[in-house]
Structure 1
Amino acid sequence: MLSALRITSCLLTTLVSTTTLAQDATLTGDWGGLRHQLDEQGIKFTGDYSGETAYNANGGLHRSARYSQNIKLGVQFDLEKLYAVDDGGKVQLTLNDRRGNSASEDMVGNRLPIQENYGGLYTRLTELSYERTLFTPALNVKLGYMAMGNDLGGLDSGILCNFMNAGFCGHPLNMSGGSGWTNYPNAHLGVRVKYDLSPAWQLRVAAFNVDPESNGNASRAWHVGPKHTTGTVVPLELVYKLAGDLPGEYKLGYYYDSSDAKRIGSDDEVAGRGGHYLLIDQAVWNSQASTGRSLHVFGQYSAASAAASPFKTWYGTGLVLYKPFAGRPRDTVALGYGRAVPNPRSRDVQQDAALANGEAFPHLDSAEQLIELSYGYQATPWLTLRPDVQYIIEPGAFSGEQIDNALVLGLQVKATF
């Protein structure tokens, strides 16, 4: 075992040495060799920071700027390495802290969060899970306290996190808007199973506890057990991964939440809520002259329960160009368009309430729309700077308010510790 003196010496060496900062994979480097040695022994430390600043340049509620941040720290224990146990599995522990203010709530008034890292402004336990293969290498099981979106509902390629708006980065938001599906970093008790049907096809199924009272509740930040269970949400996902010169990823999913929920526009309850989704990431061009330069298209479609979800459907599509310049091999250019459609029942409830109060209800289109353009500049292996422009059409589509279209300028900073 390493002595405390040597550990301290390694950390000090890392802090005072900046000669390899631009080349290191992480901001804190290899800790004088300690980090690599621990990894070899089965203990892997991870950490990252994201900061997102957004300025409303025109339209919306008023001109101003807002900043939000997310810090994630984790450690993974490889039990096979630590205890020399064949296929011992891995234990993951992750902590998360969020701070800041919302550009959507304070400046624009729209539904799709302009900053994907805003929400739940406190320190919390995000994951405590155990994962291993079972019976056969084709079967992988993970159970514990974790966020659903880490394994389901999003594209594994990570293509959607070339954007700053949560409408793109992550999974379609009508899943969480109309069921017990929860957004990261909200976690719940659950189990997830992956089974490789073939090298190209995989089936994923999970079951998670539904506990609305724990979502975004700072008093529940360190409580793994539920406070008030309303049901179980079960997602089922079929994944196809296309190999070759033009690789692709396709996901077809369905989810069902057994919780009772209030029917929109009625005092009655509906027994159970569900939805389905289709996600696509497909390379359409690869440069023969420059390795790594490629163009991908993506598509998203999801629909939620019409009876109980205020967010009925989401459509998203766009392009991501990898290695836009020969001298910038890890940069990206991303352009996306999204359309979030409110439930017509919710619109009827808003209109009836306005008429009952003698107020005029504004003439609104059928959806909030988003156009986003970003450039991912890989300053170092551990630092990404992403200038971002978002144009939000009909920000008041979900609130039933007449709000001018908004032009938002942003900057996202991501650093890996």
Structure 2
Amino acid sequence: MDQAFLVGDLTRAKPSSADAIMRTAPSMLSLALGGVLFWGAPASAQVMDRDIGSAPSLLVSRPLPSHDAYKTWVPPFSQPEAVAPNPVSKWLRRRGINFLLDNTNEFAGAITPPTRGTTPGFSNYKQGASNAGQYAVQLDVDWDKLVGWRGFATHMVTVGRYGTTANRMFGDWLNHASEDYGGGGNVVVHLVYAYGEETLLGGRLAIAAGRMAEISDFAASPLFCNFQNGSFCGRPKGITDTNFAAGYPASTWGFRVRGRPARSIYVQTGLYPIENGIYQVYQHRTGFKFNGANIIGYTAPIETAWEPVFRHNTLPGHYKFGAQLFSTQQSDNYFDVNDESYGLTGHKQKQHGASWSTWAMFDQRLLHYHDKESGLTALAGAIYNDPRTSLRHYLVYGALLNRGYFRTRPYDTLGFAITYTKIADGVSLTEQNMIDRGARRGLPNHATGVQHNTIVMEANYAIHVMRGVIFTPLFEYYIHPNAQSNLRNAALLGFKSHIQIM
């Protein structure tokens, strides 16, 4: 999850009257709610795809404005709906300083009992509930307004995370029931990212460098966190399968360049050092470790997308394709140094000098209802990883988001998502070999049986309660937790809340 512009971005067009503003704001917000945000007028409601974590992916999801200007300027910062309007924030924004504060809380409780048994690992399983969450601070500075540096802005996000996640209580270590668990270092302030970006040629070229979360820009969508479960929210979990691709709330030093040769097409690439242990507290507890002593290689992603808007700007879509190459050594998931099964021999795993992953992701609003900001949006995609080194060989997902179906509830959203994860064959064979030779303890990936595949589903209804407050009751269902058929399916009830404080 991550990013730089929330609901309510300033438009560069200036309506001639207050009535014009009232007419323009809803139509501009409509584009944002479909997964694409133009240079729209301030909106009147907060939605879950506009939290602090979604800012970079929102910027990726914006086609060029319709005018053909090449003027260098900083894309406008967000003005999200907050619980209480803050005159200090307005004063700072007029001077190029954007300060945001929010809280996201996620609760999940199992309504089914876990698998019981005497096998090592099973004895700790229990039926229970958990709560996890984060408070986040975002600081954007428009240096054009502040000191006259044309087109340059800096972005920084810090978080504090708390709580735990329920999925481990029934044996799942692949997909968190609460996505906001983990990665924050269990500290008061954890740095997510801090980088500068120069925007040139009217948005046709953007160059960024600093401490960056790669998967906030690549394989990203603000729509993912309309859901809570970790197989989907933030990003489909398969894209960070190696733990070498930095995703929110982890970051590394990085460089990224994005070009838009046409209004609805972009191409972007970058170079990011691979820092060992970026999701572990022993290396990145606070996120402020900058010396690079743990750099072990580099990852180079590339992505292109078509971002059309059909039927008079009411049906936006995104169709993106990408890949990344990891230069660091990674262990084979089956062979040892002698090209035999390391699960049988116990010898060291074979090493590969490089690995890769690929993705295809799509979202398209299919229809809209009473207002342009309402409608039915479909999402689908697939992630395919190097079968020699991956845990998740591939992941496919699909989702539906139905916003504003009821005229009296224009910002409420009904959502359904499903992900299917296939474990790499080498992992499954290794675990079977280890079990065959009697080694049930110490299986890879906290497994208590052979891992093959898993499905995670979620249904929810996001309620816009009041200014800056969203409450989302939800249901999650795990088929084959931890990709193991020997674990009982798990059902959970819970809720996700989001409060935009300022």
| Same fold, TM-score > 0.5, yes or no | yes
Alignment partner of 1:74 is 2:138 = yes
What letter matches 1:233 in structure 2?
T
Do structure 1's residue 276 and structure 2's residue 358 form an aligned pair?
yes
Deviations 1:85-138 (A, max 9, x none): 332x11112211111112122345251111111112333111111011246741
- Alpha-carbon contact 2:402-2:414 (below 8 Å) kept: yes
Partners of 1:93 and 1:334 in 2: CA distance: 30
Query: Does 1:167 find its partner at 2:228?
Result: no
Secondary structure of the structure 2 residue equivalent to 1:197 = strand
After superposition, residues 102-113 of structure 1 pair within 5 angstroms as: 102-113=165-176
Residue correspondence of structure 1 range 88-99 to structure 2 within 5 A:
89-99=152-162
**CA shift for structure 1 position 218:** 5.4
Q: How much does 1:344 deviate?
A: 1.1
Instruction: Pick one of 237, 242, 246 that aligns with 2:308.
Output: 242
Matched with 1:411 is: 495
Pairwise mapping of residues 317-332 of structure 1 onto structure 2 (< 5 A)?
317-332=398-413
RMSD: 2.2
Q: Do 1:179 and 1:274's aligned partners in 2 also have CA atoms closer than 8 Å?
A: no
TM-score by length of 1: 0.88
CA distance in 2, matches of 1:338, 1:177: 15
Displacement of 1:365 in angstroms is 7.9
State the Cα distance separating 1:213 from its structure 2 match: 2.7
Q: What's the TM-score, normalizing by structure 2?
A: 0.73
| Counterpart residue identity of residue 322, structure 1 | R
* Contact preservation (8 Å) 1:256, 1:275: yes
| Contact kept in structure 2, 1:56 and 1:108, CA below 8 Å | no
Query: Where does residue 479 of structure 2 map in the other structure?
Result: 393
Please tell me whether the aligned partners of residues 147 and 186 of structure 1 are also in contact (alpha carbons under 8 angstroms): yes
Q: Distance in 2 between matches of 1:217 and 1:110?
A: 18
Deviation string 1:223-251 (CA, Å, 9 cap, x unpaired) is 12323111111110101101123221111
Query: Could you tell me whether the CA contact under 8 Å between 2:215 and 2:246 is conserved in 1?
Result: yes
Structure 1 contact 59–108 (Cα < 8 Å) conserved: no
**Contact 2:155–2:196 under 8 Å retained in 1:** yes
Residue 252 of structure 2 is aligned to residue 188 of structure 1: yes
Q: 1:381 Cα deviation (Å)?
A: 3.1
Residues 116-265 of structure 1 mapped to structure 2, 5 A cutoff: 116-120=179-183, 121-122=186-187, 123-134=189-200, 137-155=203-221, 158-178=222-242, 180-217=244-281, 220=284, 221=286, 222-245=288-311, 246-265=315-334
The SS at the match of 1:114 is: coil
CA contact (8 A) 1:282 1:297 kept: yes
Q: Distance in 2 between matches of 1:206 and 1:85?
A: 24
In the superposition, relative to structure 1, how do residues 358 and 258 fare at CA in structure 2: closer, same or farther (>3 Å)? closer
Is 1:343–2:424 an aligned residue pair?
yes
Equivalence for 1:40: 94
121-130 or 405-414, which moves further after superposition? 121-130
Q: In structure 2, what is the equivalent of residue 18 of structure 1?
A: none
**How many angstroms apart in 1 are the aligned matches of 2:448 and 2:180?**
31
Determine helix, strand or coil for the equivalent of 1:379.
strand
- Structure 1 SS opposite 2:112: strand
Corresponding residue for 2:393?
312
* Structure 1 residue corresponding to 2:103, chosen from 37, 49, 62: 49
Distance 2:181 2:429 in 1: 30
- The residue number in structure 1 matching 2:177 is 114
Aligned-partner SS, 1:396: helix
**Could you tell me whether the CA contact under 8 Å between 2:374 and 2:411 is conserved in 1?**
no
CA distance 1:326–1:351, shift in 2 (3 Å): same
User: Any conservation in 2 of the 1:192–1:207 contact (CA below 8 Å)?
Assistant: yes
- Asked whether the equivalents of residues 382 and 397 of structure 2 are also in contact (C-alpha less than 8 Å), the reply is yes
Alignment partners' CA distance in 2, 1:197 and 1:294: 29
User: Residue 323 of structure 1 aligns to which amino acid in structure 2?
Assistant: G
Could you tell me whether the CA contact under 8 Å between 2:172 and 2:481 is conserved in 1? yes
The residue type paired with residue 201 of structure 1 is I
Gaps of 5+ in 1: 1-21
Counterpart residue identity of residue 403, structure 2: Y
What letter corresponds to residue 57 of structure 1 in structure 2?
Answer: I
Distance in 1 separating the partners of 2:203 and 2:487? 54
Partner SS state of residue 248, structure 1: strand
Task: Provide the rounded CA distance (Å) in 2 between the counterparts of 1:295 and 1:279.
Answer: 17
State the SS of the aligned residue for 2:247: coil
| In structure 1, distance between residues paired with 2:213 and 2:195 | 10
Q: Give the number of equivalent residue pairs.
A: 388
By how many angstroms is 1:166 displaced? Answer: 1.6
CA distance in structure 2 between the aligned counterparts of 1:349 and 1:340, rounded to whole angstroms? 18
- Give SS of 1:58's match: coil
- The aligned counterpart of 2:415 is 334
Shift of 1:363: 8.3
Distance of 2:372 and 2:387 partners within structure 1: 46
Structure 2: gaps (5+ residues): 1-44, 47-79, 115-124, 337-348, 442-446
Which structure has the highest strand share of the two? 1
- Closer/same/farther in 2, CA of residues 253 and 381 from structure 1, 3 Å limit: farther
Distance 1:407 1:328 in 2: 28
Residue 362 of structure 1: CA displacement? 8.8
Cα distance change of structure 1 residues 342 and 365 upon mapping to structure 2, 3 Å threshold: closer
What SS does structure 1 have at the residue aligned with 2:92?
Answer: helix
Q: 2:396, 2:249 → 1: CA distance?
A: 24
* Change in CA separation of 1:290 and 1:80 when aligned onto 2, cut-off 3 Å: closer
